[in-house]
Structure 1
């Protein structure tokens, strides 16, 4: 009983301290959950009519895109199927633009500032409460506290005996508002906790380096985490730069994968960095293959990690899966729906919990 009483106090005060933050983070996660489908349905410039001819080359699309923002460099060209527009991204410190281009005829369908828009506003709230770096610190520590609250909530929910267990798995309807609120907090909170805790833990992987290192260490069986590659591309002496070399390399990769789900080319940012070709064979986001090429010779540069998915160890696979676990897509559409419902319940927990605390306080005053 003393243990449960201490747990209840921890749960209570941590909940009161972080309730508003948890509500914002969860409700923005719910809004963000189906943003790809919403954007696809409401932004026609993302789609093109498929034609019986090949796409324009990487170099041609880059030249077209560069005219939209001459003062900045194109960082990446991406493709996603025959019915989607090609995209050219410009990103750097304080800016992020995307040009949507018809890959068959080169027509620019839209040029978008990604720093604006509703979903950009939503994700900024999710990451940093619209408060910049200071808000980001609040979110990451509140997420850590939220994990503790989920665990203590399950401990408090756990019934003492079989008779109590029967009442803990369902919300009792037709009862008083106070009792209904109590059941909504405890019963729905119990079910949602087993899903939301994965979203919270994967969030901690991004915000705490020690958590990221621990995840890699546990998944790999004790191996030290390997950082993402940044291969150096050296220019041989007396070599003439071939501007069109990346086109043939990219085409050969696409043929090798027999029309993958999506693919992209990231351009070298300096004179000593490499081209990066990313191939996504399937719709899942974690099993992609990355290849790096010398920007002068177009020869492949081998990497020790985060290259081909088939060569990844279990620690790297865990790192790759982090985002898909975070949003639930690791289990496809079913997983995303489950995470959506779970974070909606998560957003309600600070509200129902506050009313439970308020009711108990009023009861004490009445006595």
Structure 2
């Protein structure tokens, strides 16, 4: 009995300490699950294009030139739609962030110096629109979700610590919920909507907490990867026995005069990617002009539960590939890390998985609220009982 009282006390106080942060993180997380879908819905003119009957897709170098003219900053990232997304626009981004050791102020809005996102019609070459991502609703939601809109080192620690405490409350909550017999188990799996407010609140807390337990723990565990390096390293160690070597060798110098390719290096890179993948789910090109390098990540259906992707490196001087790291060459830890975001938002299981993650996030947001009312009700009841003694 003393152990149960200790667990009850631990569950309540940890919940009170972390509750507000868990509520904020859960609500913003629920919104961000459908970030891509919601943005496309509210901005169809930016995201959707009309496929002409005869006009082919313009060379990537032409689209790049048009996008570059729409911003004063150098474009460093290109997001290309999948082969099954021919009605999608091409996205070009110019972004610069302050170094981690040169953060300014307490809030994260100073972390990004600039971030332009340009949408281009791949068939006409027309710039469909440009947004300042620094002011974009979904970026602000993400910054609140990850950092409480505080600067990275401060916000990440607070969010990560609160999520760790939340995981502990979920475990202690399951211990407190665990029934002694089958009859009680059936009762604790149902919500009696006809009961009084206090009982209904209690049912909502324990029953919804039970049903969301596994998904909530999975979301929390995958989210901690962005808060703590030691957490990420621990998972790598469990899966691989060590952390991977992420260092990629710099490309050797090439004599540009020996470049016999008539095509633009950027076009040659994109042609090579399309040649390797008859069906892909999109590609990301990170351009590093200072070292004449382009890193490409191509996503595709690997017919497994993992989010499959291959990584390539090309010379920006002649568009020739000099490095590749294929999905089947990755360790178990690498496959997990590449899939971690999709696991976190439920995308790993498609649209149904995203819906489950969305609902679970809303339930997680409700637990601190219903838990607070349980705690407050008990505390208020004790004070009221003591008052009647005098």
Task: Tell me if both proteins adopt one fold, taking TM over 0.5 as the criterion.
Answer: yes
Picking from 169, 174, 191, the partner of 2:211 is: 191
- CA-to-aligned-CA distance 1:176-226 (integer Å, 9 cap, x gap): 111111100001111112111111001112211111111112122x2x111
How many residue pairs get aligned? The number is 360
Please give the per-residue CA displacement for 1:289-338, whole angstroms capped at 9, x wherever unaligned. Answer: 111113335432335xxx21121121111111111111111111111111
Provide the rounded CA distance (Å) in 2 between the counterparts of 1:335 and 1:172: 28
Q: After superposition, where does 1:126-165 map in structure 2 within 5 Å?
A: 126-133=145-152, 134-165=154-185
CA shift, 1:77, in A, is: 2.1
Cα deviation 1:65-98 (Å, max 9, x = unaligned): 111123x211122221310111111111122111
Partner Cα distance (1:234, 1:321) in 2: 31
How do residues 7-22 of structure 1 correspond to structure 2 at under 5 angstroms?
7-22=7-22
Structure 2 unaligned regions, length at least 5: 98-111, 386-390
Pick from 354, 358, 361: which aligns with 2:372?
354
Structure 1: distance between partners of 2:119 and 2:321: 29
CA contact under 8 A between 1:157 and 1:168: conserved in structure 2? yes
In structure 2, C-alpha distance between the alignment counterparts of 1:122 and 1:298, rounded to whole Å: 37
Contact (CA 8 Å) 1:22, 1:142: kept in 2 or not? yes
- Per the alignment, residue 80 of structure 2 pairs with 79
1:254 has 2:274 as partner: yes
- Structure 2 matches for 1:89-238, cutoff 5 A? 89-93=93-97, 94=112, 95-133=114-152, 134-220=154-240, 222=241, 224-237=242-255
1:25-62 per-residue CA deviation (whole Å, 9 max, x = no partner) reads: 00111122222211111102111001233322222122
Matched, 1:302 2:302: no
Q: 2-side partners of 1:132 and 1:336: how far apart?
A: 28
Q: Aligned pair in 2 of structure 1 residues 319, 126: CA closer, same or farther (>3 Å)?
A: same
> How far does residue 164 in structure 1 lie from its aligned partner after superposition?
2.1
Where do residues 309-320 of structure 1 align in structure 2 (5 Å cutoff)?
A: 309-320=327-338
- Equivalent-residue separation in structure 2 for 1:35 and 1:331 (angstroms): 17
Contact 1:250–1:277 (CA under 8 A) maintained in structure 2: no
- Corresponding residue of 1:50: 51
RMSD of the TM alignment (CA)? 2.0
Does the CA contact (< 8 Å) of 1:233 and 1:295 recur in 2? no
**Alpha-carbon separation, structure 2, partners of 1:53 and 1:260:** 22
Give the distance between the partners of 1:255 and 1:183, measured in 2 at CA. 57
Do residues 36 (structure 1) and 54 (structure 2) align? no
User: Is contact 1:231-1:301 (8 Å) kept?
Assistant: no
Q: TM-score, normalised by structure 1?
A: 0.92
- Conserved 8 A contact 1:263-1:278: yes
Give the Cα separation in 2 of the matches to 1:143 and 1:330. 22
Q: Say if 2:296 is the partner of 1:277.
A: yes
For 1:355 and 1:280, how far apart are their aligned partners in 2?
A: 46
Match of 2:128, SS state, is: strand
Residues 1:298 and 1:107: Cα distance change in structure 2 (over 3 Å): closer
Greater shift in the superposed pair: 331-340 or 61-70: 61-70
Query: 1:19, CA displacement in angstroms?
Result: 0.9
Alpha carbons of 1:366 and 1:238: their partners in 2 closer, same or farther (altered >3 Å)? closer
245-254 or 23-32, which deviates more: 245-254
- Look up the SS of the partner of 2:323 in the other structure: coil
Q: Provide structure 1 residue ranges, at least 5 long, that are not aligned to the other structure.
A: none
Residue 349 of structure 1 and its aligned partner are, at CA, apart by 0.7
Tell me if the contact between 2:268 and 2:319 (Cα under 8 Å) persists in the aligned partners.
no
CA contact (8 A) 1:26 1:343 kept: yes
**TM-score computed with the length of structure 2 as normaliser:** 0.87
7-16 or 281-290: which moved more?
A: 281-290
Q: Distance in 2 between matches of 1:78 and 1:166?
A: 50
Distance in 1 between residues matched to 2:39 and 2:245, nearest whole Å: 33
Q: Distance in 2 between matches of 1:262 and 1:206?
A: 24
